[in-house]
Chain A
Amino acid sequence: MELLDIRNLSAGVEGRPILKNLSLSLQAGEVHAIMGPNGSGKSTLAQILAGRAEYQVTAGSVLFQGADLLAMKPEERARAGVFLAFQYPVEIPGVNSTYFLRAALNECRKSRGQAELAPVQFLKLVKEKSKILQLDPALLNRPVNEGFSGGEKKRNEIFQMAVLEPTLAILDETDSGLDIDALKAVAAGVNKLRRPENATLVITHYQRLLNYIVPDFVHVLVDGRIVRSGGKELAFTLEERGYDWVSQETAAPAGATT
């Protein structure tokens, strides 16, 4: 069974179609990259998978571990093991980072029938995971993302992922706005969290991130459709020849790769 199975998905916002008959499947243990020009629908796909209500699905289905993902509320998806690293993490003044993350983790644990973590155990876990991301632990005493630099916000996303240990991680433009050191730290964190039973969907505009998070498959998304799929070398070709190259090609093999 596929971990994630997107079949003939069409979706849009306010009647404007964005995704057009998109199909994609991920197996456990795989890393897939979705690349594409601005406005091609990459982030829309990420938002739909996370459960953003503003988008309307007009056709198709998404199964996560065999269950109807689109029928689940955002929090149910998170508890089931879907994690979205936001392109623009939200600042939430007045909500302490540690409180927030403990509440989130305990919700996820509860839904899996696990006992809630006491504050002391939780702090131990936080310490351990913040090392992986080289995240300044002082940030966790601050309100969620408030006053964080762009790099700190992205690191914090991956740190949350490390704590929540999702089965499917979706990284939406996690590389945007990162300098090379931050990019390496974030990528190293993602790689350390890879498990045979998990999968990662990396959404990016540039090939750069894929030097550090090496994908098994690369898909090119143009105008809401996957117009080409291939191995990691496809990313290099794209970097070299630009998105115009695929846009101009016609009848590329679209859809699932496996």
Chain B
Amino acid sequence: MTSTLDPSKDQAPLRTARPAALSAPLNAGPPHPGLSLADVLAAFGHGDADSAPAWLKQKRQTALARAVKLGFPTAQDEEWRFTRIAPLLHLPLHPARPPARRLTAGEIAPFAFGLEGCRLVFVDGHFCAELSSLPAAGGDLQAVSLRAALAGNAPELERYLTDIADEETMVFTALNTAFFRDGALICAAPGKVIAQPVHLLFIATAGEAGATAHVRNLIVAGARSEMKVLETYASLSDAPHFTNTVTELVLGAEARLDHCKIQEENQRAFHVADVQAQQGRGSHWTSHSVSTGARLARHQIQTIFRGRNAGCILNGLYLVRGEQLADHHTVVDHAQPRCESHEFYHGVLSGRAHGVFNGKIFVRQDAQKTNAKQTNRNLLLSDDAVVNTKPQLEIFADDVKCTHGATVGQMDEEAVFYLRSRGIGLEHARQIMVRAFASGVVDRIPLEPVRARLNLMLTERFRDKGA
């Protein structure tokens, strides 16, 4: 595994973070009518200023300086052209408080997918030991809360944390580094196959608008290890809360990692997620991103191939209705030769929902024999749903195979008629068609209970025609 530390990174410490933030110039363009970045910084401050190790304090300060420099994105920002965050900045953002009461096992059961094995539960961003079941220490699988790992000086943290996720252009990732409270550290020992999936469950219960959880996860798959991680986000309240989550993944040589992230937060919530991987030689990463909740959900999914013969499958499904927006921005960086990437993102949209897909593929000059494939397909169930989709391929090598395709279409009425002409009712026929549209993406998910849940949701969506 190539070292992830980049000595050229700006390490200049920022001694007086908050005053600097207030005086720093924000992004060009018209100011947001809501919160300014300075307001946000003032609201969050440093929760763990005393307890954090020195290296982390420094990283937090660097990140804060970046955030100040970047400012919140505006409509002029190409990366955020279709995803306006103004409604988020109208919320009184503040750190989510520890939950007022303990959740029962029964309350989290609907989000647990009936999975046995290791589970870490976080409520409003706070780790809940009572609802979690951790593996024994010292085994093939390490799974602990990030705060516990920090307290125990887990070596992976200083080595990798914040060095996988690219903060230089992403203000929310920088804010996460500056303010994350907790999350999970998951490590599979080299050469070990972890049979049971590890489940990270994040539940929001806060009743106040603007309650914010900055969640940070680090997943390290040792060389030749195999592991499945399920990461789910859900709400038990219907308040407009905010989740800003970053998951960093490190795949050692020939590691195989399946990462399934499911976002089903309430329809008023805001969800910004950054999932970034760094892949060693011969490793394989499968990413599933399922987005059905939140008013606004932005997913950044990124990988860089640091060694040859690595591969990834980026698989995604967004099911949005009403006024929801689901945005996927992917970046696959073919920095090494002979790597393969396959992207499949499908969206089912109804009501006045909005889907955004932007897929970047970089093929560096030395990355010969690259095979990169990207597809984005969208099914619009209403006249008012909108999709913006854009492939962005930058290819500097000459012996490569790169394809991309995007479709935006409505229900195939010929097919619906065909089904009906055989005796299948109209509703059932539409149901079959919606399921069929998403089936490729759903069937790639290895966890059966997750597939079953999605199929159930899909069969309900067909009714949405006018909704």
B415 x A84 contact (CB < 8 A): no
Interface assignment of A90: CB less than 8 Å from any CB of chain B: yes
Q: List which A37-83 residues lie within 8 A (CB) of chain B.
A: 50-52, 73-75, 77-79, 83
Expressed in whole angstroms, the minimum distance between the Cβ of B462 and any Cβ of chain A is 13
Q: How far is the CA of A104 from the CA of B428 in the complex (A)?
A: 10
Is B80 interfacial (CB 8 A cutoff)? no
The interface bits of chain A over 148-177 (1 if a CB of B lies within 8 angstroms of the residue's CB, else 0) are 000000000000100010000000000000
- Contacting pair B415 A90 (CB below 8 A): yes
Q: Is there contact, CB below 8 Å, between B419 and A92?
A: yes
Q: 0/1 per residue, A105-138, Cβ < 8 Å to B?
A: 1011001000000000000000000000000000
Pick the contact of A92 from B426, B428, B436 — CB < 8 Å?
B436
- Residues A104 and B418 in contact, CB atoms below 8 Å apart: no
Residues of A within 8 A of B435 (CB): 94
Let me know if B436 and A95 touch, CB within 8 A.
yes
Q: A107 to B423, Cβ gap below 8 A? A: yes
In whole angstroms, what is the CA distance A6 to B419 when docked? 25
A103 adjacent to chain B (CB < 8 Å): yes
Q: Given contacts A75-B425, A90-B414, A107-B425, is CB(A100)–CB(B419) below 8 Å?
A: yes
Instruction: Count chain A CB atoms within 10 A of each CB in B415, B418, B435 and give the residue with the most.
Output: B418
B8 at the interface (CB under 8 A from A): no
What's the nearest-Cβ distance from chain A to residue B359, in Å?
Answer: 22
Q: How far is the CB of B376 from chain A (nearest CB, A)?
A: 16
- Given known pairs A104-B423, A107-B423, the reply for A52 and B417 (CB within 8 Å) is yes
| Residues on A with beta carbons closer than 8 Å to the beta carbon of B422 | 78, 100-101, 104, 107, 160, 164
| Chain B residues, Cβ within 8 Å of A83 | 421
State whether B440 touches A108 (Cβ < 8 A). Answer: no
Distance A183 CA – B268 CA, assembled complex (angstroms): 60
A143 to B440, CA, bound (A): 12
Interface check B437, CB cutoff 8 A: yes
Q: Give every chain A residue within 8 A of B433 (Cβ-Cβ).
A: 92, 95
Bitwise interface map of B from 434 to 450 toward A, beta carbon under 8 Å scored 1, else 0:
01110110000000000
| B378 → A minimal CB distance (Å) | 15
A147 CB–B CB distance under 8 Å: no
In the complex, B406 has a CB within 8 A of chain A: no
Residues of A within 8 Å of B421, CB to CB, are 50-51, 74-75, 77-78, 83-84, 86
Q: Does B115 contact A (CB under 8 A)?
A: no
Is the beta-carbon distance between B420 and A86 smaller than 8 angstroms? no
Whether A79 contacts B423 by the Cβ 8 Å rule is yes
B5 an interface residue at 8 Å Cβ cutoff? Answer: no
Interface contact tally, CB-CB below 8 A: 75
List the B residue with the shortest CB-CB distance to A93: B436
Q: Is the interface of B mostly helix, strand, loop or mixed?
A: helix
B424 touches A103 (CB 8 A): yes
Contacts of B424 in A (CB 8 A): 75, 100, 103-104, 107
Bin the interface of chain B by size: 20 to 34
Chain A residue with Cβ nearest B422: A104
Most A Cβ at <10 Å: residue of B412, B420, B425, B433 = B420
| Alpha-carbon distance A50/B429, docked complex (angstroms) | 16
Chain B's nearest CB lies how many Å from the CB of A96?
A: 9
Q: Within 8 Å of chain A (Cβ to Cβ): is B432?
A: yes
Chain B CB count within 10 A is highest, among A84, A89, A94, A164, for A94
Given A90-B414, A92-B415, A103-B428, the answer on whether A74 and B420 have CB atoms closer than 8 Å is yes
Q: Are B437 and A108 in contact (CB under 8 A)?
A: no
Q: For residue A80, which residue of chain B has the nearest CB?
A: B423
- Cα(A164)–Cα(B428), bound, Å: 18
Q: Of A52, A78, A90, A143, which is within 8 A of B423 by CB?
A: A78
- Chain A residues near B439 (CB, 8 Å)? 94
- Please determine whether B426 and A73 come into contact, CB atoms closer than 8 angstroms: yes
Query: How far, in whole Å, are A100 and B412 apart by their CA atoms in the complex?
Result: 16
The residue on B at minimum CB distance from A88 is: B414
Q: Which residue of B lies closest to A104 (CB)?
A: B422
Min CB gap B407→A, angstroms: 12
List, in ascending order, chain B residues with CB within 8 A of A101's CB. Answer: 422
Residue contact A94 to B423, C-beta cutoff 8 Å: no
Provide the residues of chain B in CB contact with A160, threshold 8 Å: 422
B437 engages A94 (CB within 8 Å): yes
Please determine whether A103 and B420 come into contact, CB atoms closer than 8 angstroms. no
Give bound CA distance, A164 to B414, whole Å: 20
A166 CA to B172 CA, complexed, in Å: 62
Shortest Cβ distance from residue B440 to the other chain A in the assembled complex, whole angstroms: 7
CA distance A102 to B271 in the complex (A): 41
A41–B291 Cα distance when bound, in Å, is 48
Residues of B within 8 A of A104 (CB): 419, 422-424
Measured in the bound complex, the distance between the Cα atoms of B422 and A195 in whole Å is 20
Contact at B440–A75, with CB atoms within 8 Å? no
Most chain A Cβ neighbours within 10 Å, of B415, B419, B422, B437:
B422
B423 in contact with A75 (CB, 8 Å): yes
A103 adjacent to B432 (CB under 8 Å): yes
CB distance from A19 to the nearest CB of B (A): 19
Using CB atoms, name the residue of chain A closest to B442.
Answer: A94
Q: Are A100 and B432 in contact (CB under 8 A)?
A: yes
Give the one of A74, A92, A100, A144 with max B CB within 10 A: A74
- List 11 A–B pairs whose Cβ atoms lie within 8 Å, in order of A's numbering: A50-B421, A74-B421, A75-B421, A77-B421, A90-B415, A92-B436, A93-B436, A94-B439, A104-B422, A107-B422, A143-B436
Report which A residues bind B (CB closer than 8 A): 50-52, 73-75, 77-79, 83-84, 86, 89-95, 100-101, 103-105, 107-108, 111, 143-144, 160, 164
Which B residues lie at the A interface, using CB under 8 A? 412, 414-415, 417-426, 428-429, 432-433, 435-437, 439-440
Given contacts A77-B421, A78-B421, A160-B422, 16 further A-B contacts (CB under 8 A): A74-B417, A75-B424, A78-B423, A83-B421, A89-B418, A90-B418, A92-B433, A94-B435, A94-B439, A95-B419, A103-B424, A104-B422, A105-B423, A107-B424, A107-B428, A144-B418
